[in-house]
Amino acid sequence: MSGGPLIRLQQDILYHTVTGFLPFLKISRKMVLSRPNYYIWNMEKPIKVENLWQKLIMGDRDAFLHIYQEHYVGLMNYGSFYFKNRGTTNDAIVEMLLNLWDKRTTLPQVKNVRSYLISCLRFTILQNIKTEKWKDSKANSIINHLEGDQPSHEEQLTMLQSNDQLKRKLHKSFEKLSDRQKELLQLKFFENMGYEEIAASCNITKRTAYNIIHDAIKILRAELNDGQNNISMYDVTLLVTGFLSVWEIIKH
Amino acid sequence: MDYSDFTVEELLTDTSFLEYCLGNNEEAVLFWTVWIKDHPEKEQLVKEAEQLYLILNGQLRPQLRSGVQGLLMG
C-alpha cells in the first residue's frame, strides 16, 4: 500500500454526517429540484455497466468513481467477513482499487463487474496475507476461506457478536419471511444490487423484484415494531454494533 | 410521485433514498437533505427507514465521496 493517498483516504473515510457533507457539494439546490424526474422511481434507470467499464479502461475518473460507489457496499460486506474489521477491509478495497486504476489500460472486458471486483479483492487479501502484511492468528483460517468456496452460513455465524434479546428478535422477524423474500433483501441491501441486476439474476421482472422487497420490508417492520415487552426497532439499531449483521443472525 | 405520501417501505425501495442513506450520490444526498428539512413532520418516518436500512445493509454508514477522489489524485 502506498502512503499519501491512502492516508488521505483514511482521513476522509472517517464517517461524516450527511449534513457535514453538504458544504463540499458543488451543485445547487435549484439544479437538483429542476430535475425531479431523476428522483422519481429511478429504479427504471438503465444501468450501463459495460459502458462504465469501458470508460474506466479509457481512464475516465468519473466512471471509476461510479464503479466504486456502486460496488463499495457489496465489496465491504464481502471483505468484512474475512477481517471482521471495517478498517482492514477498507484498506484492502483501496489497495485493490489503486491496482485497478494503475492497470486500467490492460484490464479485460468484463461482463459482471461485481464478481470481477470480488475476485480482485480476494487476490489482494490473499497476497497481503501471504506477504505477512496482515499476519495474525487468523491468517490461516482466512486463507482457507479464500482458497475454498464461499463462506458457509455456519462460518458467518461464528463472527456473530451476540446480544441474545436482539438476536431472538431479529431471528423471529426474519422467520416470517419466505426464502425468496430473504434472498431479495440480501441482494438489495447487503450486496447493494440494483433492481435490474436482481431481476436478471433471479429471472423475474424488476417490478416483481420491487414488490417482493416492498412486502418483505412491510412484514419485517410489523414484526420489529410489534409487542409490548419487545425492544423497539430504534433500540435494535442502538444494540447492533460492529459486525452484528442481520444476515449472520437469520442464517442461524 | 409525491414524496410527501411516502411510507417507510416506499422509501426503502427508492433508489435515490438508499443513495442518500449511503451518501454515495451527492445529488441524492442534497435532494433528501433539503426534502427532510422541508418536511419536518416526516422526520420519524425517515429515521425509521434509515435505521432499518442500516440493519439490512450490515451497518455501513455514509462516507465521503471524496475518499476515492483523494485516492485518484494521489
Q: Minimal CA–CA distance to B68: which of A67, A124, A16? A: A67
Q: Confirm if A123 and A78 have CB atoms less than 8 A apart.
A: no
C-alpha cell at A154: 455456519
User: What are the residue ranges spanned by the domains of chain A?
Assistant: 4-151, 155-250
- pLDDT at residue number A228: 40
Record the pTM.
0.59
Residue A91 has pLDDT above 70, yes or no: yes
Task: Provide the percentage of residues in chain A whose pLDDT is more than 70.
Answer: 54
| Mean pLDDT within A167-191 | 83
Work out the pLDDT band at A218, boundaries 50, 70, 90.
Answer: very high
Q: Minimal CA–CA distance to A195: which of A41, A8, A26? A: A41
Q: Does A73 touch chain B (CB under 8 A)?
A: yes
Nearest CB among A25, A42, A94 relative to B15 is that of: A42
- SS3 category, A242: coil
The residue whose grid cell reads 455501513 is B60
- pLDDT at residue number B14: 92
Give the sign of the dihedral formed by CA A239, CA A245, CA A221, CA A167. Answer: negative
Task: Convert the pLDDT of each residue in A95-110 to its tens digit.
Answer: 888 888 889 999 998 8
User: What are the residue ranges spanned by the domains of chain B?
Assistant: 3-73
C-alpha cell at A77: 460486506
Work out the pLDDT band at A67, boundaries 50, 70, 90.
Answer: confident
CB contact under 8 A, B74 and A72: no
Helix spans in chain A (H): 4-13, 18-21, 29-33, 36-39, 49-57, 61-83, 86-102, 113-130, 139-147, 153-158, 164-175, 179-185, 195-202, 206-224, 233-239, 246-250
Q: Confirm if B4 and B42 have CB atoms less than 8 A apart.
A: yes
Identity of the amino acid at A149: D
Specify the CATH number for A155-250; select among 1.10.10.10, 1.10.287.1080, 3.40.718.10, 1.10.630.10: 1.10.10.10
Q: Does B45 touch chain A (CB under 8 A)?
A: no
CA angle, corner A169, sides to A163 and A175, nearest 5? Answer: 130
Task: Provide the percentage of residues in chain B whose pLDDT is more than 90.
Answer: 15
CB contact under 8 A, B16 and A25: no
Distance, CA of B65 to CA of A9 (rounded, Å): 10
Work out the pLDDT band at A243, boundaries 50, 70, 90.
Answer: very low
Work out the pLDDT band at B74, boundaries 50, 70, 90.
Answer: very low
Residue A247 has pLDDT above 60, yes or no: no
Task: Convert the pLDDT of each residue in B12-66 to its tens digit.
Answer: 999 999 988 887 777 888 888 888 888 899 988 998 898 888 778 766 665 543 3
Q: What is the ipTM of this complex?
A: 0.80
Could you tell me which chain B residue has the CA closest to the CA of A37?
B1
Work out the pLDDT band at A45, boundaries 50, 70, 90.
Answer: very low
